[in-house]
Amino acid sequence: MNRALILAVVAAVGIVVAASTLFTVHQTQQVLITQFGQPIRVIRDPGLKAKIPFIQSVIAFDRRLLDYDATGEEVILGDQRRLIVDSFTRYRITDPLLFFQSVGATEAGIRARLNSIVTSSVRRVLGNEPLLSVLSNDRARIMTEIRRQVNDEARRFGIEVTDVRIRRADLPDGNTQAILQRMQSERERVARELRAEGAEQAAGIRAGADRERTVLLAEAQASSDILRGQGEQDAIRIFADAFQRDPQFFQFWRSMQAYREAFSEGDTRLLLSPDSEFFRYFRESMPAPAPRAAQ
């Protein structure tokens, strides 16, 4: 009976010692081993590990990305406008030993430090930027500069800041309407200037097109007159050559043209004497009348 009790006690002590000696490092963790409160070594590889029981302690730190939401702060911009900025930060613990020596064994210590670092960097960078830059595509450049400054200061705490973002940027309630009206007036002024420039360019393009049209029509009319004159000159020359070759045939052809133009309508009336030169070819083509028989 006593032997069984001794074995049970030994087994219980062995289990307690083994539980105090062995520990598991998860793949999302990194472990710092301390001895009497003093850091001894850092374990980053996951798996089953061992330590000196009852003397050494295990402090686990998360190796994943961690988030910190900063409170909204009122910031004065470079153009003396006020803006309420609400930001968040993503960081990772890269040096557990330095983190433990700087802020302690929990994440609560780093949050207070990050709040002051992020707030001062946001005020410093935004203090040199106008409102339009914060609300435009320059916002990415501004956030990159803020992240760089925050990361440079946070490295001494054993962390790496991977990103700093402005979640919300609002105008104070008292200045919102005035700033919106000013921005609307500015946009309307720019729109009027653009419309005036467009109207001026349109008038210039229209005047140039009208001028080119006038020049083209004048050149076309001049070319047409020149070609018409050359055609009439050639026609006169051809008629003159034909008249010189056979004047009688030319007169006959001109008379036929006159007959066609005079009688083409069908109801033309002419008052001419029978012996008019106009009917010369009609008379020549008619047969002579037969002589009357003697009674």
**Token pair of 7, please?**
């074995």
The tally of domains found in the chain comes to 2
Mean pLDDT taken over the chain: 81
Handedness of CA 148, 150, 155, 161 (dihedral sign): negative
Residues belonging to the chain: 295
If asked whether residues 47 and 99 sit together in one domain, one would say no
Residue 205 pLDDT greater than 90, yes or no: yes
At residue 147, φ and ψ (nearest 5 deg) are -60, -40
Q: Which residues pair with 61 in a beta bridge?
A: 30
Percentage of the chain beyond pLDDT 90 is: 18
Last residue of a domain, one of 177, 212, 238: 177
Domain-embedded: residue 188? no
CA angle 105-159-61, nearest 5°?
35
If you write DSSP's letter for every residue of 137-186 in order, what string do you get?
TTHHHHHHHHHHHHHHHHGGGTEEEEEEEEEEEE--HHHHHHHHHHHHHH
Domain-embedded: residue 186? no
Half-sphere exposure of 198 (CA within 13 A, CB side): 6
Domain-embedded: residue 214? no
pLDDT tens digits along 59-111: 889 888 898 888 778 888 888 778 888 888 999 999 998 998 888 888 888 88
If asked whether residues 109 and 130 sit together in one domain, one would say yes
User: pTM of the predicted model, to two decimals?
Assistant: 0.53
